[in-house]
């Protein structure tokens, strides 16, 4: 997109940022550059900017530019998955560093910290990050990174980004916020003081359930992001050109999709909260949610993901998930099709309640989704 003095709206940036009309053909949709290597100049240089596919690619550059624009950052490093993005960020730290992370953080990140980075020498403390006192108490002289996930998966806990950023910076630590569930449509952590934003681009950003990827966006240049870029380039855990192209394509409809999914999720959460077969609904859009006030302050909508606890045990919860007809039983979220999952049976060593079901609200008509849930919750589910 051509440079402009005044930022465009999110809808316009989602369509145009990182893209340009192909100078060779005039194509409005950018070509996919599959080449693994690029021609050197006669003098041995690379005036066109590309050397080898691991270190750079036009499609990846376009995606990284778009994500930095949408998240209001200055630079992005993209990866082959969301897990690879978080893994690489942790790997960019020194082995003697300390990390503060949420008790409710994605279970795969807990596995990274416990099984890979702790034996390597990295220390960490898991705390209830909505509790600012607990965050402050967990900080150490060698804390270099505070990691938050808000809203969290699958508990939908909400952390005050600005308040935790202040605590982290007072301790000379960086704050990284996983913004996968909210997306830049509903929340921009870098404008609230976070130093880095993490995404599983697999989810809402790509948005169609057909490509895996991850990204880290930085608010401004800093030594940690410089090291992360080195890990990305030398380690080579980068997305393919086609993966970048698919994700960039998905960004064009991001604002429309996320707002529609959030609106439907709000309606379903309200309906579930009144259902006699439901014990509790975890969704920050509900006034009774403990993080509702903070979410109102830092979000522009509450997202398309929610969890609910059914009345009964794990067997009852799994039976309900097994009997939906329209809502698919599947892992992941953010796609046009709705999905439901019993999380405790997926997560290892989880603190997730055995009667919790996570619901990713897609783009089907909300009345059809409610009808599907209603027929299962009202049945004996045998």
Give the model confidence (pLDDT) of 8-25 as tens digits. Answer: 999 999 999 999 898 889
Same domain, 75 and 203: yes
Question: Do residues 226 and 274 share a domain?
Answer: no
Does residue 4 lie within any of the structural domains?
A: no
User: Tens digits of per-residue pLDDT, 105-158?
Assistant: 888 899 999 999 999 999 999 999 999 999 999 999 999 999 999 999 999 999
Whether the CB-CB separation of 306 and 359 falls below 8 Å is answered with yes
Looking at the structure, tell me whether residues 134 and 276 fall in a common domain. Answer: no
Same domain for 265 and 220: no
* Lowest model confidence (mean pLDDT) among 50-54, 190-194, 246-250: 50-54
Task: Note the pLDDT of residue 197.
Answer: 98
Q: 23: helix, coil or strand?
A: coil
Supply the pLDDT for residue 6: 55
pLDDT given at position 227: 98
> Could you tell me the pLDDT band of residue 382, with boundaries at 50, 70 and 90?
very low
Tokens of 345: 């049976």
Residue 290 and residue 238 in one domain: no
Same domain, 139 and 69: yes
Question: In terms of C-beta density within 10 A (0-12 exposed, 13-18 middle, 19 or more buried), how is residue 80 classed?
Answer: middle
Residues 237 and 285 in one domain: no
**Does any domain span residue 382?**
no
Q: Are residues 189 and 43 in the same domain?
A: yes
Q: What is the pLDDT of residue 379?
A: 81
Predicted confidence at residue 1, as pLDDT, reads 44
Q: What phi-psi label fits residue 81: left (phi over 0), alpha (psi between -120 and 50 degrees) or beta?
A: beta
Q: What CATH number corresponds to the domain at position 344?
A: 3.90.1150.10
The answer, yes or no, to whether residue 332 has pLDDT greater than 60, is yes
Read off the CATH number of the domain in which 40 is found: 3.40.640.10
Which candidate in 19, 106, 174, 343 is catalytic?
A: 106
Q: pLDDT for 36-85, tens place per residue?
A: 999 999 998 999 999 999 999 999 999 999 999 999 999 999 999 999 99
* pLDDT confidence bin for 236, thresholds 50/70/90: very high
219 in the same domain as 267: no
Residue 179 has pLDDT above 80, yes or no: yes
Spot the catalytic one: 50, 54, 61, 72.
54
Where do we find the tokens 């992370």? 101
pLDDT (0 to 100) of residue 274: 97
**Of the residues 216, 251, 286, the one at which a domain ends:** 251
The rounded distance, in Å, linking the Cα atoms of 112 and 330 is 23
Q: Tell me, yes or no, whether 3 lies in a domain.
A: no
As a whole number of angstroms, the distance between CA 177 and CA 292 comes to 18
77-101: average pLDDT: 97
Domain boundary pick from 251, 276, 307: 251
Query: Both 165 and 230 in a single domain?
Result: yes
Q: What is the mean pLDDT of the chain?
A: 95
Residues 316 and 240 in one domain: no
The last residue of one of the domains, among 251, 279, 306, is 251
Choosing from 203, 219, 257, 343, which is the catalytic residue? 203
User: Is residue 179, in this structure, part of any structural domain at all?
Assistant: yes
Please name the residues in contact with 304: beta carbons below 8 A apart, sequence gap of 6 or more: 204, 258, 261, 262, 264, 265, 333, 334, 360, 361, 362
Q: Is residue 176 part of a domain?
A: yes
Residue 346 pLDDT class (50, 70, 90 cuts):
confident
Active site residue 54: yes
Catalytic residue flag (residue 178): yes
Instruction: Find, among 307, 289, 311, 360, the residue nearest to 331 by Cα.
Output: 360
In this prediction, residues 214-224 reach a mean pLDDT of 98
> Same domain for 222 and 304?
no
User: Per-residue pLDDT for 2 more than 60?
Assistant: no
211 CB contacts (<8 Å, ≥6 apart)?
201, 202, 243, 246, 247, 250
Burial class (CB in 10 A: 0-12, 13-18, 19+), 112: buried
In this model, does residue 90 exceed pLDDT 70? Answer: yes
- Please say whether the beta carbons of 335 and 327 come within 8 A: no
The answer to whether residue 68 sits within a structural domain is yes
| Sign of torsion over alpha carbons 104, 153, 189, 159 | negative
What's the whole-number mean pLDDT along residues 271-293? 98
Does 117 map to a domain? yes
Query: Is 302 noted as a catalytic residue in this protein?
Result: no
Tokens at 30, concatenated: 């950018």
Selected residue with higher pLDDT from 5 and 89: 89
Domain assignment of residue 307, given as a range = 255-377
Catalytic residue (one of 60, 124, 160, 178): 178
- Is 50 designated active site? no
Is there a domain that residue 228 lies in? yes
Q: How big is the CA angle at 264 (ends 258 and 265), to the nearest 5 degrees?
A: 85
Total domain count, the chain? 2
Mean pLDDT value across residues 151-174: 97
């Amino acid at each position: 997109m051509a440079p402009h003095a005044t930022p465009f709206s999110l809808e316009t940036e989602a369509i145009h940022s990182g893209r340009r009309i192909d100078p060779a053909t005039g194509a409005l949709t950018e070509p996919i550059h599959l080449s693994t290597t690029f021609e050197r100049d006669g003098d041995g240089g690379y005036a066109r900017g590309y050397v080898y596919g691991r270190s750079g690619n036009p499609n990846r550059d376009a995606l990284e530019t778009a994500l930095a624009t949408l998240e209001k950052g200055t630079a992005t490093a993209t990866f082959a998955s969301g897990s690879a993005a978080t893994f690489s960020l942790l790997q960019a730290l020194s082995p003697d560093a300390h990390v503060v992370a949420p008790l409710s953080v994605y279970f795969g990140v807990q596995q990274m910290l416990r099984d890979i980075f702790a034996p390597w020498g990295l220390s960490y403390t898991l705390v209830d990050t909505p509790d600012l006192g607990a965050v402050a108490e967990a900080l150490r002289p060698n804390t270099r990174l505070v990691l938050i996930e808000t809203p969290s998966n699958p508990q939908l806990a909400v952390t005050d980004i600005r308040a935790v950023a202040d605590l982290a910076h007072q301790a000379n630590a960086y704050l990284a916020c996983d913004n996968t569930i909210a997306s830049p449509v509903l929340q921009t952590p870098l404008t609230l003081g976070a130093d880095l934003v993490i995404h599983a681009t697999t989810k809402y950003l790509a948005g169609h359930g057909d490509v895996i990827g991850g990204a880290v966006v930085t608010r401004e240049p800093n030594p940690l992001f410089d090291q992360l870029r080195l890990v990305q380039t030398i380690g080579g855990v980068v997305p393919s050109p086609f993966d970048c192209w698919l994700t960039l394509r998905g960004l064009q409809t991001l604002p429309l999709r996320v707002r529609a999914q959030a609106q439907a999720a709000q309606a379903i959460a309200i309906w579930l909260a009144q259902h006699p077969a439901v014990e509790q609904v975890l969704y920050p859009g509900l006034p009774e949610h403990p993080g509702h006030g903070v979410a109102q302050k830092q979000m522009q909508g509450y997202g398309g993901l929610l969890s609910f606890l059914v009345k009964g045990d794990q067997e009852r919860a799994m039976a309900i998930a097994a009997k939906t007809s329209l809502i698919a039983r599947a892992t992941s979220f953010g796609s046009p099709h709705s999905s439901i999952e019993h999380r405790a049976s997926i997560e290892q060593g989880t603190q997730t309640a055995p009667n919790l079901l996570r619901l990713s609200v897609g783009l089907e008509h909300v009345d059809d989704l409610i009808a599907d849930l209603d027929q299962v919750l009202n049945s004996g589910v045998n």
